[in-house]
């Protein structure tokens, strides 16, 4: 079983503070009745980030030198392992990844049905 752990770094807190300050400047220029700053503090916690869309971990790519899966989300090292989901992304695209995840899952399922089942345990892409 794989366990991944991560947390905000000091630099990420500083970047967040910077953006919060810039947003507050824009808000103040609009002359609001009230401004409430909500700075990110402490460790990462899943509770307030239910829609964060975390990505990465088993990156998709053209070569086993710099990726974990091929374009069909098949592991380069273990041909009968297909890793579907946003884990294939090298970064978050900045919006909801569900459509892309679904398209990649369909692409992988189609390749599994059309190619892999005819020659199980074989790579769909040669490294």
| pLDDT value of position 50 | 63
Q: For 55-116, give the secondary structure using H, E and C.
A: CCCCCECCCCCCCCECCCCEECCCCCCECCCHHHCCCCCCCCCHHHHHHHHHHHHHHHHHCH
C-beta neighbour count of 68 within 10 angstroms: 20
For residue 69, the Cα-to-chain-centroid distance in whole angstroms is 14
Model confidence over 47-79: pLDDT tens digits? 776 667 778 889 999 999 999 999 999 999 999
Q: Which residues are catalytic?
A: 53
Q: Is the model's pLDDT at 99 over the cut of 80? A: yes
- The fraction of the chain above a pLDDT of 70, given in percent, is 94
Would you kindly state where each structural domain of the chain is located, as residue ranges?
Answer: 10-49, 53-127
Q: Is the model's pLDDT at 30 over the cut of 70? A: yes
Report residue 44 as tokens.
């990462």
Q: Alpha-carbon distance 77 to 127, whole Å? A: 10
| pLDDT value of position 51 | 66
Q: In whole numbers, what is the pLDDT of the chain averaged over residues?
A: 90
């Amino acid at each position: 079983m794989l366990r991944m752990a991560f947390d905000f770094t000091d630099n990420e807190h500083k970047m967040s503070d910077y953006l919060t300050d810039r947003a507050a400047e824009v808000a103040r220029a609009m002359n609001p009745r009230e401004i409430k700053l909500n700075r990110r503090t402490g460790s990462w916690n899943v509770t307030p980030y239910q829609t964060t869309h975390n990505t990465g971990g088993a990156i998709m790519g053209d070569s086993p030198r710099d990726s974990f899966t091929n374009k069909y989300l098949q592991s380069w090292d273990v041909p009968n392992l297909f890793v579907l989901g946003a884990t294939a992304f090298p970064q978050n695209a900045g919006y909801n990844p569900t459509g892309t995840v679904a398209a990649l899952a369909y692409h992988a399922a189609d390749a599994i049905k059309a190619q892999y089942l005819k020659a199980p345990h074989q790579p769909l892409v040669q490294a």
